[in-house]
Chains A and B, each alone.
Chain A
Amino acid sequence: MAGSAGPEVLRAPLVVEFPFTRSLGPVQSAFLTGLRERTVLGVRTGDGRVLVPPVEYDPVTAEEIRDLVEVGATGTVTTWAWNPAPRRDQPLDRPFAWVLVQLDGADTALLHALDAPGPEAVHSGMRVRVRWAAERTGAITDIACFEPGEPGETDEPGGTREAGGEPAAHSGRFDDPVTGIVAAARLDYTYSPGRAQSAYINGLSARRTVGERCPSCRKVYVPPRGACPTCGVATEERVEVGPAGTVTTYCIVNIKAKNLDIEVPYVYAHIALDGAGLALHGRIGGIPYDQVRMGLRVEPVWSEGGRYPDHYRPTGEPDADYETYKELI
């Protein structure tokens, strides 16, 4: 393997998931609570326009705006786009239209989905109404989607306002208002570590630690990341280092980590493997924690099926002289 670039490109699934917890301003809180109660609120700007969905500050003047009004749950499509292949978290799991809908009484449009049989059934200017979600929590998804139609065709409230009329003022007050949302997000990746790190990981699978040497300053990087951060050039010459090394510095861990089955206290150390130009880190075992010292000579201990050393233990050699590793601390 040493010398030329290995052909095997490693890949692994990587999921990034994060539930963003966000607090709401007074206008957002009223709007999302209103959706829970099947009431659509807008906010009036200083020049009299009604923004739906409502915002806390006028997007033109930045003026704080708080005058809420109730608008219709019916409206007119201002533009649309037919989505033949819905993606995982989108509002409907069958083909649908994305629409911007100007609700009756509003001067701006709201983005949502329109449930329609096909693109031939959708056009700008068509009349649509809100289809409420069965379970509503105070979120934009309390609107399940829009559906074609005029008010009065269902017995749901919120669909009875006359088009063209002035929207009525609304206090924005509801029982048990929502004050925050939790927006879950998940993104799926297929991660590839690239040339240098693939070679390093492939080496580890044969229980070899392979670094890369900078062609300019000759430093050997372990693990290699493909570039010498000092010289800014590619590191391509592979160099096997270790397996033994020297503890350059260490700390004693006294707090048990979640999901980690290691008795505390234990020692976590920087270890300069023989031939490496910088230290990597690992746990020290096979010696009482209070006997670990700088200069201790250690070697890796591999567990059955492990893809990297489980920990390092003393080799029994005499300690390394400080002068031999002081540049690596």
Chain B
Amino acid sequence: MAPTPAARDVAIVAFAQSDHRRRTDELSEVELLMPVLHQVLDATGLKTSDIGFTCSGSSDYLAGRAFSFTMALDGVGAWPPISESHVEMDGAWALYEAWVKILTGEADTALVYGYGKSSPGEVRDVLTRQLDPYYVAPLWPDSVALAALQAQALIDAGETDEPALAAVAARSRDAASANSHAQVRGSRPQGDYVVHPLRTGDCPPIGDGAAAVILAAGDRARELCARPAWIRGMDHRIEAHGLGVRDLTDSPSTRLAGERAGAFELPVDTAELHAPFTSQEIVLRKALRLGDDVAVNPSGGALAANPVMAAGLVRLGEAAARIHRGESDRALAHATSGPCLQQNLVAVLEGES
């Protein structure tokens, strides 16, 4: 399927993220979020009143707070009333909505953010509530268990083994040594099985964090950023919710989203993959046909910091920041949602030489 050409040039012009930490008891969600909002506004010189559209991603279930996104809006300065929307998903999908809004011409700039506090609850249990409520959720299969079923399927298929998974973990956390925001920095022992075949090292850290980006169109983007990260394409696709219906060793939704985003038209030099579990990187590399010459997760990825509802947006932000810094010319960013890579978003970002 041919990618759809974008109607406007839109770029990520600023990115900020919090230091992701195991607990942030001293901070409410808005207190966690507000500094990163200020950082992206300061980086561009924009004020809230200059922003055409604001979109956020978060989930009330994480911290057990109803309508928490309305409280978070306090940090934006939403008065006089702003044009605003929210997705009960990772902020990557908020970015998608904001991108579409700009493509329609209804806005020229957008502020996008995502945040999540996993520390107040048990995120492994919380995530069971997104599952099929009739046949699956009553069994409370936690997020690690479902990822472990996928990992075992990959091992049975001969696509990976425990040493290969350990190597993904080690490479990611080594890379995170250079990322001051990461929660797990530097390689560490793989540890015991959490749910066999996944060990502690194969699983993401649990923690709290927030991220924000600013999008801008055309010349506005060039005014706001020395080297904008142009969104050349972006698409998201979903697979059946029934785990037993899917081939867990493959990710056709990622591949299709990649095709639609134009990921296969030219090679990328960088890929920020939202793979909370080591085994999921194996699946994504295959689906996106990433070779060894591609820098995968130079930030450390979700294995180094996985603030749920922000970690996907962080992938887009990290890829864009590499372009801003001149370290990448063409980068792929991926975000996922649901169990075992059920839903996937792929964006292709480019810098101008």
Contact = CB atoms under 8 A, between A and B. Distances in A.
Interface in A77-102: 78-84, 87-91, 98, 100, 102
A124 B156 contact: yes
Interface string A54-67: 01000110000000
A110 interface: yes
Contacts of A230: 77, 79
Given A81-B148, A112-B139, A227-B74, A189 B120 contact: yes
B148 to A, nearest CB: 3
B120 A59 contact: no
Contacts of B267: none
Interface stretch (A9-17, A258-266, A279-287, A307-315): A9-17
Contacts of B48: 232
B167 interface: no
B87 interface: no
A32 interface: yes
A98 B149 contact: yes
Interface stretch (A152-160, A180-188, A270-278, A294-302): A180-188
A196 B74 contact: no
Interface in B172-214: 193, 195-198
B276 to A, nearest CB: 15
B28 A196 contact: yes
A205 B93 CA distance: 42
Which A-B residue pairs are the 9 nearest by beta carbons? A232-B77, A194-B28, A109-B244, A81-B148, A82-B196, A59-B240, A189-B64, A229-B74, A227-B74
Given A59-B245, A111-B243, A187-B64, A87 B124 contact: yes
For the residues of A in contact with B, the DSSP-based class is mixed
A28 interface: yes
A191 B30 CA distance: 15
A74 interface: no
A257 B169 CA distance: 55
Contact of A231 (B77, B140, B245): B77
Contacts of A98: 141, 145-146, 148-149, 195
Nearest to A83: B195
A322 interface: no
Interface of A: 9, 11, 14, 16, 20, 22, 24, 28, 32, 51-53, 55, 59-60, 78-84, 87-91, 98, 100, 102, 108-113, 119, 124, 139-141, 181, 183, 185, 187-198, 225-234
Which of A11, A24, A124 lies at the interface centre, i.e. has the most chain B CB atoms within 10 A of its CB?
A124
A181 B124 CA distance: 24
B134 A82 contact: no
Interface in B207-255: 240-245, 248
Contacts of B338: none
B30 A9 contact: no
A68 B243 CA distance: 20
18 contacts: A16-B64, A82-B193, A82-B195, A82-B196, A84-B195, A89-B140, A98-B145, A98-B149, A113-B139, A187-B64, A192-B120, A194-B29, A195-B28, A226-B31, A226-B74, A229-B74, A229-B79, A232-B37
A110 B135 CA distance: 9
Contacts of B79: 229-230
A83 B143 CA distance: 12
Nearest to A84: B193
Contact of A226 (B30, B124, B129, B139): B30
Given A84-B193, A189-B63, A78 B141 contact: no
Contacts of A91: 139
B142 interface: yes
Nearest to B77: A232
Nearest to B28: A194
A109 B248 CA distance: 11
A31 B44 CA distance: 57
B139 A141 contact: yes
